[in-house]
Amino acid sequence: GQQVMQIPQYQHVQEGEDFTTYCNSSTTLSNIQWYKQRPGGHPVFLIQLVKSGEVKKQKRLTFQFGEAKKNSSLHITATQTTDVGTYFCAGPLVTGGGNKLTFGTGTQLKVEL
Amino acid sequence: DGGITQSPKYLFRKEGQNVTLSCEQNLNHDAMYWYRQDPGQGLRLIYYSQIVNDFQKGDIAEGYSVSREKKESFPLTVTSAQKNPTAFYLCASMTLDRGFVGELFFGEGSRLTVL
């Protein structure tokens, strides 16, 4: 079945360092979404990318969708303690139909002062 | 405020008991979803519903049941047949009027512990 993998699984950084998480799908995705889940909280939608090669920015966060629409990345410049949490990518399941998202395995980010 | 309300937030259950988790949304979304999250893990789809009185199994439906009698409500029952029910359960909804799979709105979750 369709799988969505993320690397790394964990990342510890010093405040001010950059951070990147990578998302890879076994199949082509019509779009890719990114969510953030704070410790003890629920996932919150960050952004959706639809076009091949698309790049979007939200302040210190940069999101990319690969040319083949099978991979994506999230880059955070100059991390802050407020960036702590787990970042998930998610894409629509193609096989079997239905409007549903398959979530990646997530990258847990810890930021130390 | 529009949103998704899950209850209870915390629930303890003895082995062999069924338990029902509530999920209500006032976003007028057509589709609703139940995900399970285990510590340090991603989200796995249990069941979803795109229209009232209809629902489909997700990847890990065994030991769970759902109903969708109203557009606003999508309760999940964790039955005694579910072998490892201790987990964080997340309900979500999505509008289907955009013509493509859009963003999910999540509730705050229900944390179930089986004693």
Question: pLDDT tens digits for A1-39?
Answer: 668 999 999 999 999 999 999 999 988 998 999 999 999
| Distance from C-alpha of A89 to C-alpha of A93, rounded to nearest angstrom | 13
Whole-number pLDDT of residue A34: 98
What average pLDDT does the segment A78-94 reach? Answer: 93
A98·B50 Cβ contact <8 A? yes
Instruction: Please give the mean pLDDT across all residues of chain A.
Output: 93
> From the list A45, A90, A99, which residue is nearest B50 (CB)?
A99
Least confident of A67-76, B38-47, B68-77: B38-47
| Distance from C-alpha of B40 to C-alpha of B61, rounded to nearest angstrom | 21
Q: Is the pLDDT of residue A95 over 80?
A: no
- B3 touches A: beta carbon within 8 Å: no
**What is the per-residue pLDDT across A47-83, written as a single tens digit (0 to 9) for each?**
999 999 999 999 999 999 999 999 999 999 999 999 9
Whole-number pLDDT of residue A94: 63
Whole-number pLDDT of residue A84: 98
Whole-number pLDDT of residue B98: 75
Whole-number pLDDT of residue A112: 95
| Distance from C-alpha of A39 to C-alpha of A93, rounded to nearest angstrom | 27
Whole-number pLDDT of residue A96: 57
| Distance from C-alpha of B115 to C-alpha of B42, rounded to nearest angstrom | 24
- B4 touches A: beta carbon within 8 Å: no
What average pLDDT does the segment B83-110 reach? Answer: 92
Which residue did the predictor score with more confidence, A77 or B1?
Answer: A77
What average pLDDT does the segment B57-85 reach? Answer: 95
Å from A51 to nearest chain B CA? 13
Q: pLDDT category, A86, cuts 50, 70, 90?
A: very high
Structure tokens at A92: 């629509």
> From the list B42, B59, B109, which residue is nearest A42 (CB)?
B109
Q: Is the pLDDT of residue B26 over 70?
A: yes
| DSSP-assigned states of every residue in A38-55 | -TTS-EEEEEEE-STT-E
B50·A48 Cβ contact <8 A? no
Q: Is the pLDDT of residue B43 over 90?
A: yes
Smallest CA-to-CA distance from A68 within A51, A81, A82, A47 is with A51
- A24 touches B: beta carbon within 8 Å: no
| Distance from C-alpha of B62 to C-alpha of B71, rounded to nearest angstrom | 24
User: A36: which strand partners?
Assistant: A44, A87
CB B76 within 8 A of CB B20: yes
Instruction: Please give the mean pLDDT across all residues of chain B.
Output: 93
Query: Secondary structure of chain B: what % helix, strand, coil (to 5)?
Result: 0, 50, 50
Radius of gyration of chain A (CA): 14
